[in-house]
Amino acid sequence: MLPSTLSKRLFSSSVKSQYKVTVLGASGGIGQPLSLLMKLNHKVSELRLYDLRLAKGVATDLSHIPTDSKVIGFSNQEEDGLAKALDNADVVLIPAGVPRKPGMTRDDLFSINAGIVRDLATAVAKNCPNASICVISNPVNSTVPIVAKVLQKHGVYNPKKLFGVTTLDIIRASRFISEVEGTNPTQERVNVVGGHSGITIIPLISQTTHNLMPKEVKDKLINRIQFGGDEVVKAKDGAGSATLSMSYAGSIFADHVLKGLSGEKDVVVNSFVDSPLYKEEGIDFFSSPVTLGPDGISHIHPIGELSTEEEAMLVECKETLKKNIAKGYKFVEESKL
C-alpha cells in the first residue's frame, strides 16, 4: 500500500472534529496509549493531557500526528494546570491513580486512589461541570460513587453524565468465549453486568448462543472473565496491570460517549452508572447496557433474563457492590471539601 493511501485511511475523515477531551493521568500506562487513540479519534478537536509528570512531553509527541486536533499538555507545576486542562471540557477520561501488584485486590487501591479521584472530581466540578466523566481508576465500584458525591456536594451532579468504564470486561468476554468456542472474537458479544471487580463482574453467558457448553467449561470461562485483571497483574509481575487492552477499551468507550453527544442514533454500551435497577435494594450504581445521546444517558436497560446460576451470582454481586458503594460515599462524607 502506498504511504499516502495508508495515511488517508488512518487519518482522513468526513466527521467534524468538535469535542474537547481531557485525559487526567495521561502519562501513565493507560494514559499514554489512551491519549494516542484519542488523538486518532476524528470527533476530537482538542485533546488536553494532564498528569503529575511528563504530560507536556506526551502532548508534544502526539501533536506531530496529522489528525485534525490540537494536543496540549498541562502540568501540576504550572499555575492552574489542572483547571486549564479541564476548562469547559466535553469529556473527561480519568485513568489517574496507582495500579495493582500481585496479591492485591482492587479494593486495596482505595486508600490511595480515593483521594486522587476525589480531588480530580472537585476540579471537574469547578471547571467543567457539564462534562461527561469516564472513570477508569480503580476500584471503579467505589471511585464512581466518590465522583458522584463530590459533584453532589458542589451542586453539579448530573447522573446522566457519570460513567464507570467496564468495557474491558466486555472485550475480555468476547475474546475468552471465542477461544473456548473456536469462533471469531469480533463476532462475539457477551452482556457483562454488575460491577468491575471479581465476583461483581457477571458475564451473562445464558444470553449468548453458547449457553449449552459443558458446565465445567462455562464455570471456568466465567471465572476467567471475572479474574482476567489478575491474569495480567500476575504476568506483569509487579509492573502494573492491564494498560494496552484497557486503553483500547477506554477509547471504544469514549468513542461511544462522543457518538452519543454528536447525536448518532442507537448508541448502546455497558457502563457502571447511577441506575434505578436495584436502587430500592440500596444499590445506587450498577453496570448494564445504556443508550447514550446528546445529553448523556438517555435510557438504562434492564439486564435481561438470567439462568438460576446467574441469579445466584447477582445476589453475591449486590452484597459486595453495596459495601463498595457505601465505602466511597463514606470517604467523601468524611473528607473536608
Ligand X SMILES: O=C([O-])CC(=O)C(=O)O
Does 324 count as an annotated binding residue? no
Q: Pick one of 23, 59, 171, 246: the residue that binds ligand NAI (CB under 6 A).
A: 246
Q: How far is the CB of 26 from ligand X (least distance, A)?
A: 18
Residue 104 marked ligand-binding: no
> Binding residue for ligand NAI (CB under 6 A) from 98, 180, 199, 213?
98
In angstroms, the Cα distances linking 167 to 30, 93, 107 are 14, 13, 19
How would you classify the pairing of strands 91-94 and 70-75?
unpaired
- Is 256 part of the annotated catalytic residue set? no
| Between 42 and 134, CB nearer to ligand NAI | 134
Report the residue closest to ligand NAI, judged by CB.
28
Q: How far apart are CA 24 and CA 155, in angstroms?
A: 22
The amino acid present at 21, given as its one-letter code, is V
Degrees to nearest 5, angle at CA 108 with 83 and 118: 20
250 is in an annotated binding site: no
How far is 186 from 202, CA to CA, in rounded Å?
Answer: 20
Cell readout for 24 is: 487526567
* Closest residue to ligand X using C-beta atoms: 229
- Give the residues lining the site for ligand X (CB under 6 A): 99-100, 106, 138, 168, 229, 232-233, 241-242
Closest separation in Å from C-beta 233 to ligand X:
5
Q: How far is the CB of 270 from ligand X (least distance, A)?
A: 14
Our finding on whether 113 is near ligand NAI (CB under 6 A) is yes
For 72-102, give one letter per residue: b (16+ CB within 10 A) or e.
bbbbeeeeebbeebbeebbbbbbbbbbbbbe
Query: Which is closer to ligand NAI, CB of 128 or CB of 168?
Result: 168
Burial-class residue 292 by CB neighbours within 10 Å (0-12, 13-18, 19+). buried
Give the span between the Cα atoms of 231 and 75, in whole angstroms.
Answer: 33
Q: Measured from the CB of residue 109, what is the shortest distance to ligand NAI in angstroms?
A: 6
- Beta strands 19-24; 91-94: pairing state: parallel
Among 31, 73, 195, 328, binds ligand NAI (CB under 6 A): 31
List residues binding ligand NAI (CB under 6 A).
Answer: 24-25, 27-31, 50-53, 95-100, 109, 113, 116, 120, 136-138, 140, 165, 168, 196, 240-243, 246
Annotated binding residues, as ranges?
25-31, 51, 100, 106, 113, 136-138, 172, 246
Active-site annotation, residues = 196
